[in-house]
Amino acid sequence: MRSAAATVTRVAQRVVAPSAPTPRGELPLSWLDRYPTQRALIESLHVFKGRAGDAGDAAETPAVAIERALATALVSYYPIAGRLAVSEEGELVVDCTGEGVWFVEATASCTLEEVDYLEYPLMVPKDELLPHPNYPASDPLPEDSLILLVQVTQFACGGFVVGFRFSHAVADGPGAAQFMTAVGDIARGHAAPLVTPAWGRDAIPSPPGAAVGPLPVPTELRLQYLAMDISTDYIEHFKARFLEQSGQRCSAFEVLIAKAWQSRTRAARFAPGSPVHVCFAMNARPVLRRALPDGFYGNCYYIMRVSAPAEAVADASVYDVVRLIREGKKRLPGEFARWSAGEAAAGGADPYRITSDYRTLLVSDWSRLGFAEVDYGWGCPVHVVPLTNLDYIATCILVRPSAHKPGARLITQCVAADAVDAFHRDMMRLD
């Protein structure tokens, strides 16, 4: 630990099973669920301030409330209580064993204020707040099959942090937020989730002959973490100027991603003529709305790739870069339809490939997934911290800022150390 004032102690660990009997057997996963990079456990920290006077005096602590609600939610979301397995046909499936999810209860000796509500740089190492159980010796590779792990850490002020590790093979961002919301519904007194979950993986296309690109190759380059709070005035400035120039409205996402792509391209000094790319995941639920059942929580997204010569991004006005982003977003229905029909396979392109190519920026938008609205009975989180573990893949994550700050927050790990200052300076410019 960095400070004696920030000691975290894990006081209990156990497997939380569904509170009632659930169906058994194997459930198929979709082509996208089975994509090789989905086997990762997505990690995040959710910081809750708690209520005044709750420092140990509440009738039900956050850990007790969340554990109770988890057990009930897993009755409806019973696949999450199972394990990933390989079927007789060699396909990744969910084996609905009803075993449950790992749950860790912990305490911190400090207040959240003393560790700045886990603003960056983290004053508590992330692995102290994420669930890392001591697995039985009889299970040599337990995390290969786990779907969800949860840790609730109670701080001395009554606030708490929920650390999640969630298998991307079973849920994407909106799906994971849907499950967390269901746990919150039950923790606040509802008998069951307000949204009934549906499996429905057969609604996701399985393109004939779809190309699957290689996994990202680690490189020697170490990209630097930089978090930036962006004011509402900054965003509205660019949106107003874009409206003046084009007669059209643009979103905060389009402004911020255009600025990040341009500022990064300039700071990295890519050679003229060198192709640069920005890739961002788009929710494909609207495209499949007629096929998807209500309550679907599996993977349903498409990675849109926008490419241009380096000088077309670095030397253009930011409003021209916004146009590139907007044009890319408009391609979703057509590109997704062609990919679904197997037409994209002819060119050998894999839209879902994650690459460590430094010229490619991978963007995620966490601001509208639903994590910021989850309420276990102590109000919504003041801060959601997505965690990245691969510092050789250029990433930019858009999240909501802390509850008391308007605007947006960009969490970036996209430039080498010698380019961080230039990247930050360019991001702050209003031209």
| Separation CA 96–CA 163 (nearest Å) | 24
- Alpha-carbon torsion angle 340, 342, 345, 351, nearest 10: 0
| Separation CA 144–CA 122 (nearest Å) | 28
Is the backbone of residue 53 left (phi > 0), alpha (psi -120 to 50) or beta? left
| Separation CA 273–CA 268 (nearest Å) | 14
> Which residues lie below 8 Å from residue 232, measured CB to CB, with a gap of 6+?
406, 407
Is 375 noted as a catalytic residue in this protein? yes
Is 421 noted as a catalytic residue in this protein? no
How many other CB atoms sit within 10 Å of the CB of residue 196? 11
Instruction: Please identify which residue in the block is written with the tokens 């669930």.
Output: 131
Q: How far apart, in Å, are the Cα atoms of 91 and each of 34, 235, 296, 342?
A: 8, 45, 21, 20
SS3 (DSSP) at 105: strand
**Catalytic choice (168, 172, 365, 383):** 168
Quote the tokens at residue 91. 């396909």
φ, ψ for residue 260, nearest 5 deg? -65, -45
Amino acid, single-letter form, for residue 377: G
Residues 252, 255, 417, 173: is their CA dihedral positive or negative? Answer: positive
**Catalytic choice (54, 116, 229, 375):** 375
Which runs of consecutive H residues, i.e. helices, occur in 85-199? 126-129, 173-187
In sequence order, what are the beta bridge partners of 45?
A: 163, 385
> Which residues lie below 8 Å from residue 144, measured CB to CB, with a gap of 6+?
39, 84
Which residues belong to the active site?
A: 168, 375
